[in-house]
Amino acid sequence: MSEGLFLLVCFFAFPVVVFAQQPNIVLILADDYGWNDVGYHGSEINTPNLDKISASGVRLENYYVQPICTPSRNQLMTGRYQIHTGMQHAIIWPCQPYCVPLDEKLLPQYLKESGYATHMVGKWHLGMYKKDCLPTRRGFDTYFGYLTGGEDYYSHIRCASDSALNKSFCALDLRDGEEVATTYKGQYSTELFSQKAISVIENHNANKPLFLYVALQAVHSPMQVPERYMKPYQFIKDNYRRIYAGMVSAMDQAVGNITEALHRAGLWDNTVLVFSTDNGGQTMSGGSNWPLRGRKWSLWEGGVRGVGFVASPLLKQPGSFSDKLIHISDWLPTFVGLAGGSINTTKPLDGFDVWKSISYGLPSPRQELLHNIDPMFQEETPCEDEEYRLALSEVASREPWTQYSFNVSIHAAIRVSNWKLLTGNPGCDKWFPRPPHNTSLSQSDRLKPVMLFDVERDPQERYDLSDQFSGVVDYLLNRLSDYQKSALPINYPKSDPRCDPTSRGAWGPWA
C-alpha cells in the first residue's frame, strides 16, 4: 500500500472525533526556551512540573516552531506561513508601523465564533502601532500583558534604541485591556502573568468553553529572577546559565500553578493544555539546544525544533511521545477542529488539524514544512568568524544560483519527510555544549550555499548529503521555488518617529 493510500485509509476509516462538549483550550507559550532546558531532555535544570504534566500527556518530539518571536506568534495566530502574510523578515520592532495584516483572521476570532470566551495574558509582539492591531481588537475578550518583544521583568519598562531614528526610548509597556497598567512595578512578570492567568480561570463562567492563551515572558532576556529560584543551581559556574536556570524554574512553577488552578476550578477533565516554546534557545543568554546545532535566529534544528507537549484527559494515548511532524501553524486548525468550528476564510491555511496524530498516534497529515524564505536575512548577532564568511562567499561565487531553480543565496529552509534542505546563510551554525556536556562536536564539512540533511537519522545536522542525493536536492529546490512564487512582498517598513512613547507615558498605538 502506498503512503498516500495508507494515510487516506487511516484518516477516513477512523471514527470522527466528537466531544460531549467543547473542550477548554489552554495554550502556554514560553519565550526562547531551549531544547536542552527541560528535564525530560536530560537537562541539569529541574522542571518537575513540565516533566510530570507532559508525562501524563503526549510529548511532541518532532515539533517545529519559527526561529524568532514574531514569526512564530504570527503563524500560531493565522495558521499561515509568514511568506503568505508578508512577515517573512525578522521581528516587529517597537517603532515599526505595521502589524499582522488586519485582513487576516486570527485564532481567537475563530474560537469566538464557536462560542468560546477568549482571554490572553503576556507577550503580544504582533504589532501595536494603531488600536486595530491590539489583542482586544483581534478576537480576545480580555488582555493583560505587554505589546513589544521584551522588557524589564520587574519595572515592565521597555528601552529601545532605534538606529534608523538615531534615538533611544524608554517607557512602560504593560496593559490591562487597552489601558496602561501602572500599579505592578516590582512584581516579577513570570509570577504576575501566572497570577493573572489563574484569575481568568477562577472567574471563568463554566457555561462557556474557555480559550486561554498565556504567552510568558520567561525565559527571554534580560537575565532576571528572584534569588530563591537560583539557590538550587549554585553548582552551575556560568553566571548566565545559572540565572537562566532560575528563570526556567520560575516558569516551571508558573505552569504548575496554572495547571493546578484548572484542577481546582473543576475544568481539567475537559481541558486540552498545550505547552510550546516560540523558538530555539538563545545561547548568548544561557539557553541550550544541545545536542542540536544552532540557536535562536537560525534555521538549524537548534533554532526551529521546539519543546512542546499536549496534556489532557481527552487524549486517547496518554503517557506517550509523538514523532509525527507537527508545526506551530497547525494549532489554529487543530483548535478550531476541537471547538467544532469551521475554517471559513478565503485565505488558505498552511496548518493542518493534527489532533488525531497527537491523540491516537495516527500519521500526521503534514508531510512537508517550509521553515522560511527570507531574501533580506541578516543575523542579529553572527557567531561565525571572518574566515567562515569569506569561505561561504567564495563558494557562492563558484556556484552561481542561476544553475538552480531557486536562488540559493537566499536564507531559506524546507523539510519534506526526513529530508531538510538549507540554502544561503542559515544563521549561526555552531553547537553549543553546556555542562554536564563538556565535549564538543567536530565541525561538519565546510558550509555550502545548498546543504541537505537526513534529520531523522542526523538531527544534529552533522553530515551534508547534498552531493549524494542530487535528485532530492533538485526536488526540494523546486518546492522552494514554488513557495517563493506564492510569497507576498516583504512588509518591513521604516521606523516612524511618531512612535516616541515619552509623551504618552507608555508604549502603544500612535497612528
Last residue of a domain, one of 347, 367, 387: 367
**Nearest in space to 484 (alpha carbons), one of 373, 393, 388, 383:** 373
Residue 501 lies in a domain: no
Read off the pTM: 0.94
Pairing of strands 24-30, 175-176: unpaired
The residues with which 321 forms a beta bridge, in sequence order, are 59
Classify burial at 396, counting beta carbons within 10 Å of its beta carbon; exposed 0-12, middle 13-18, buried 19 or more.
Answer: middle
> So what's the pLDDT on residue 19?
75
> So what's the pLDDT on residue 9?
45
Last residue of a domain, one of 367, 394, 429: 367
Q: Do 417 and 482 reside in the same domain of the chain?
A: yes
For residues 509 and 492, give the distance between their C-alpha atoms in angstroms, rounded to a whole number.
Answer: 18
The DSSP output letter for 446 is: P
Residue 62 lies in a domain: yes
Q: Do 32 and 66 reside in the same domain of the chain?
A: yes
Residue 15 lies in a domain: no
Q: Is 83 helix (H, G, I), strand (E, B) or coil?
A: helix
Which CB contacts under 8 angstroms, 24+ apart, belong to 226-231?
226/188, 226/250, 229/253
277-335 pLDDT, tens digit per residue, is: 999 999 999 999 999 999 999 999 999 999 999 999 999 999 999 999 999 999 999 99
Catalytic-labelled residue, pool 69, 133, 428, 499 = 69
Q: Do 286 and 388 reside in the same domain of the chain?
A: no
What's the per-residue H, E or C state across 146-181? Answer: ECCCCCCCCCCEEEEEECCCCEEEEEECCEECCEEC
Q: Do 199 and 92 reside in the same domain of the chain?
A: yes
Q: Do 302 and 348 reside in the same domain of the chain?
A: yes
Q: Do 300 and 390 reside in the same domain of the chain?
A: no
Residue 154 lies in a domain: yes
How far from each other are the two terminal CA atoms of the chain, in whole angstroms?
58
We report the CATH number of the domain holding residue 386 as 3.30.1120.10
Domain boundaries, position 377: 370-486
Q: How many domains does the chain have?
A: 2
Q: Do 251 and 385 reside in the same domain of the chain?
A: no
Residue 503 lies in a domain: no
Average pLDDT over residues 345-351: 92
Q: Do 363 and 374 reside in the same domain of the chain?
A: no
Q: Do 282 and 231 reside in the same domain of the chain?
A: yes
Percentage of residues of the chain with pLDDT beyond 70: 90
**Nearest in space to 105 (alpha carbons), one of 114, 96, 95, 97:** 114
Q: Do 142 and 228 reside in the same domain of the chain?
A: yes
Contact status, residue 343 vs residue 78, Cβ threshold 8 Å: no
**Cell numbers for 348:** 488558505
159 among known catalytic residues: no
Residue 492 lies in a domain: no
The phi, psi pair for 493, rounded to 5°, reads -70, 160
Q: Bigger pLDDT: 432 or 391? A: 432
Q: Is the peptide bond before 226 cis (omega within 30 degrees of 0)?
A: no
The pLDDT confidence band at residue 6, using thresholds 50, 70 and 90, is: very low
**pLDDT at residue 417 above 70?**
yes
78-90 pLDDT, tens digit per residue, is: 999 999 999 999 9
Residue 195 lies in a domain: yes
263 among known catalytic residues: no
Catalytic-labelled residue, pool 41, 89, 125, 220 = 125
**pLDDT at residue 4 above 70?**
no
We report the CATH number of the domain holding residue 196 as 3.40.720.10
Q: Do 386 and 359 reside in the same domain of the chain?
A: no
Q: Do 258 and 402 reside in the same domain of the chain?
A: no
Residue 1 lies in a domain: no
